[in-house]
Structures are given as structure tokens and as C-alpha cells.
Structure 1
Amino acid sequence: MKENVLDLLMYLFENYIYDEPEQEPDRESLSESLEDAGFSSGEIEHAFAWLDGLAEQRELPELGGDGPNAIRMFTSEECHRLDVHARGFIMYLENIGVLDPARREMVIDRLTALETEDIGMEDVKWVVLMVLFNQPGQEANYAWMEEMMFDEEGDLRH
């Protein structure tokens, strides 16, 4: 189910959200289009709930208390769901300034909201891209992440 939900989120992002960021698509007509594209109603509802959770985070206050010497400890559940490469990539993005502590937590929250045991690097990259796209003031970080993801040569820069 996770792959279909993430596929659905990527489909929405590429075909509706990214192309028409100023317009709020009608959920009913969007649901019909997604069903016509082959997604189940359960996957569609899960994707809408995931997007609603992302939108709610946009309204949350910024995190405080993360100084230059702060260390983010992953919970046992996060360690179970995010392998060492995924966790390392998230921390790498924070260390180079693509993610700040608030966006890091949003990424981790949205990854765990996928409700799957198997979260791969591509999943992490797509969720980071979606989180950054949704956050005001993150245009440069979004552009960097987008360039990294769609780099023709496929070189990972870390």
C-alpha cells in the first residue's frame, strides 16, 4: 500500500500541486481523476490525509532550542522505520542548511505518516521535496533539492 500511496502523492505533486500552485483543486473532481488513473479510494483518502497533515504543519510555530551543539536523537520507532542511510541523509540535509530543525521534524513526521515499515531513500527525497515546496521561504532549498533529485548524471552530492 505504501508504494501506491507514495506513487499517488508523487502523481499529485507532479500533475496538480507543482503545475498549479495557486489553484486549490476540488477534492471531489481530483478524487475522480485519481480513480480514473487507477488509484483506489482508500489510497486517495490516505494521500489526502497525508497532505492535510502537511498543511497543518505549515501553521505550527517554529521550533526553538536547537543551537549549534544540539543533537537530534532518533526514537527506536524512527530507527526501525528509517534505516541508517535515510537518517544520515536527513542529518546531511540539516548540516548543509537545506533543512532547519523545524523542517527536519516535518520530514520525519511525514515519513512516519506513510505508515509503512520500508522507507527507502527515494521516499525520503520525495518527502523532503514536498515539505520544502509547502513551506514559505524555502524556495532556494527546494530548488537545490529538486536539482539534486533530477540531476541527469545522478550524482548524489554527499
Structure 2
Amino acid sequence: MYDILVYLFENYYTPQACPKADVLAHKLAAVGFEHDDIDEALGWLHGLAQSSERFAPIELSSSSSLRAYTDEEYHTLGSEAIGFITFLENSGVLRPALREMLIERAQAADESPVSLDRMRIIALMVLWSQETEVDHLLLEELLNGEQSTLSH
């Protein structure tokens, strides 16, 4: 699934540039991705779109907030992922709504705790989905993590 997410980021400048799910599935299969991975990635992306709608009211309500993690979230995400979320917040990239989207999408991932490399990809996709401007150095940090994930 993560290879597909990275492929989408690298090949489609914005989410709107992506074809509809059925056409995208055919394109991904033609490139050589496995059908199970395609289904998982498309399901994850559908959840990302739903998260955008669900957390939109948070975006309007405040520009800053304090986030306390539940025991379940801490167990699912792990300290590395939570530390990375905090880093993104402190960098000014992650507004409260994006933070909540990131947490929700990380919890939908297929591992617990979420590895830092996978968390970078999830963050990259959340920011990409919202067409968020990302500082060049931060983008490099996200992409460096992505490259080490793909080499495993």
C-alpha cells in the first residue's frame, strides 16, 4: 500500500489530478502493483477523503490547540510517531485539523506501533491531500524517510 501512496504523490501533482478510483485501479495494475495492495491503498485514500470532511469544522474553529493522546492512541501510534506529529506541529505545518487527520489515518494503517518511515508517508499524503504548502527542508525530510521505506 505504501508504495502506491508514494507513487501517487510522485506522479500526481494534486489529488484532483488523480483519475477516479476505478480508472486509477486499472492504471496501478498496469504499472505492476498487486490487486490486494491497490484495494488497500484505494480504501485508505477513501478514508482520507472522509477524514477531510469530518475534520473540516476543526479547521474553522481554532488555529492552535493542545492534544492529549489516549492510551489506545499511544499504543497504536507509538512514541516515535507521536514525536513526529509533535515535530510537524511545532514546525507550523500541522494545523489542528491536519493533525487529527494524520492521527486518524495512522490508526487506519496496518501496523501498531506505526514506524517512523510509514508515518512520514502518511503525513506526506495528508499534506498532499489538502494541497498544503510544505517548506522545502521539511519536504526533503518527509521524502528521505520515504526512500528508506521503499528500500526495505
Name the structure, 1 or 2, with higher relative contact order (CA <8 Å, separation 6+). Answer: 2
1:46 & 1:30 partners in 2: Cα distance?
Answer: 13
CA offsets 1:121-152 (integer angstroms, 9 cap, x no match): 1111111111112115x21x36553133346x
- Choose the corresponding residue for 2:138, options 137, 145, 151: 145
- In the other structure, the counterpart of 2:9 is 13
- Check if 1:119 corresponds to 2:114: yes
Equivalent residue in structure 2 for 1:23, among 17, 21, 35: 17
**More helix as a share of residues:** 2
Q: Distance in 1 between matches of 2:75 and 2:49?
A: 26
Give the one of 29, 37, 40 matched to 1:43: 37
Q: Output one character per residue of 1:67-86: Cα deviation in whole Å (capped at 9) or x when no partner.
A: 5xx53121222212222121
Give me the whole-angstrom Cα distance separating, in 1, the residues matched to 2:135 and 2:51: 17
Question: Gapped runs of 5+ residues in structure 1?
Answer: 152-158
Alpha-carbon RMSD across the aligned residues, in angstroms, is 2.5
Q: What SS class does the counterpart of residue 82 from structure 1 fall into?
A: helix
Query: Structure 1 72/148 Cα, relative in aligned 2: closer, same or farther at 3 Å?
Result: same
- 1:111 touches 1:119 (CA, 8 Å); kept in 2? yes
Larger C-alpha radius of gyration, 1 or 2? Answer: 1
Normalising by structure 1, what TM-score?
0.73
My pick for the range that moved more, 92-101 or 104-113, is 92-101
Identity %: 38
Are the counterparts in 2 of residues 86 and 120 from structure 1 also a CA contact under 8 Å? Answer: yes
Distance 1:7 1:150 in 2: 13
Residue of structure 2 equivalent to 1:34: 28
